[in-house]
């Protein structure tokens, strides 16, 4: 059954690389949403016996990661009237290469790590690592605030992937709490985005350097 998990994870990895390379905001958001939806399906693939709780969690996840958050981001995008990300700190191509390198490294690194669990000999750990790394790359190299939010989203996705290994241990209550917090977090962030846009009439974080020594 590995393929059934690895195929979506491979898609996730490809999406990571894609997101590191694109400059159009819209496609960035779409791919983030797509990633979210794919991930929300993972529990269904992993669990032996499907019960209502899993389905609920999956649906809620899909709704939040695939619909609500992208909607908010779209709205912010519309308000700010920005189409593309500006040239990143180190350029698009280098970031993508860096992402690819990161993926490779995380795959090898994960191979070295001891597996404490049977059946976890899948792509899950490397995928989660590289997704987290992708999120970090977006956060550190991009200048537009929205992109950074998306980066944060990707980071969370990476963590979510790792969470797949712990379905047995982590109660759904916690899962839902985490989801809720993520949602509220993004919500607050988007409000702040809105205010940034009003105050600075742009979402370019390079303008947010008034506070300094």
Q: Which residues bind another protein (CB under 8 A)?
A: 89, 113-117, 132, 136, 139-143, 145, 148, 152, 155-156, 158-159, 162-163, 165-166, 168-171, 173-174, 177-178, 181, 184-185, 188-189, 192, 195-196, 199-200, 205-206, 208-213
**25-46 and 69-80 helices, crossing angle to 10°:** 180
Q: Identify which of residues 3 and 169 has a Cβ nearer to another protein in the complex.
A: 169
CB of 99 to another protein, least distance (A): 13
Q: Among 41, 47, 98, 36, which residue's Cα sits nearest to residue 73?
A: 36
CB of 101 to another protein, least distance (A): 13
Would you call 134 exposed, middle or buried from its count of C-beta atoms within 10 A (0-12, 13-18, 19+)?
Answer: buried
Q: Identify which of residues 77 and 160 has a Cβ nearer to another protein in the complex.
A: 160
CB of 60 to another protein, least distance (A): 16
Question: 3-class secondary structure for 145-207?
Answer: HHHHHHHHHHHHHHHHHHHHHHCCCCCHHHHHHHHHHHHHHHHHHHHHHHHHHHHHCCCEHHH
CB of 87 to another protein, least distance (A): 13
Q: Identify which of residues 21 and 194 has a Cβ nearer to another protein in the complex.
A: 194
Query: How many whole angstroms separate alpha carbon 137 and alpha carbon 111?
Result: 22
Q: Identify which of residues 7 and 56 has a Cβ nearer to another protein in the complex.
A: 56
CB of 156 to another protein, least distance (A): 6
């Amino acid at each position: 059954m590995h393929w059934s998990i690895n195929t979506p994870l491979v898609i996730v990895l490809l999406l990571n690389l894609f997101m590191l390379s694109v400059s159009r905001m819209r496609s960035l958001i779409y791919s983030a949403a797509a990633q979210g939806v794919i991930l929300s399906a993972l529990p269904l693939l992993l669990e032996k016996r499907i019960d209502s709780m899993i389905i609920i969690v999956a649906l809620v996840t899909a709704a939040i990661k695939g619909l609500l958050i992208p909607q908010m981001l779209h709205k912010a995008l519309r308000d700010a009237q920005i189409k593309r990300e500006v040239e990143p700190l180190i350029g698009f191509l280098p970031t993508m290469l860096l992402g690819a390198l990161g993926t490779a490294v995380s795959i090898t690194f994960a191979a070295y790590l001891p597996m404490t669990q049977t059946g976890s000999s899948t792509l899950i750990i490397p995928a989660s690592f590289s997704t987290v790394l992708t999120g970090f790359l977006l956060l550190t190299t991009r200048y537009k605030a929205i992109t950074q939010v998306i980066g944060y989203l990707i980071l969370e996705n990476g963590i979510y992937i790792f969470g797949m290994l712990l379905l047995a241990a982590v109660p759904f209550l916690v899962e839902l709490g985490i989801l809720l917090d993520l949602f509220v977090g993004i919500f607050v962030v988007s409000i702040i985005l809105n205010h940034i846009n009003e105050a600075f009439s742009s979402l370019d974080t390079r303008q947010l350097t008034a506070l300094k020594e």
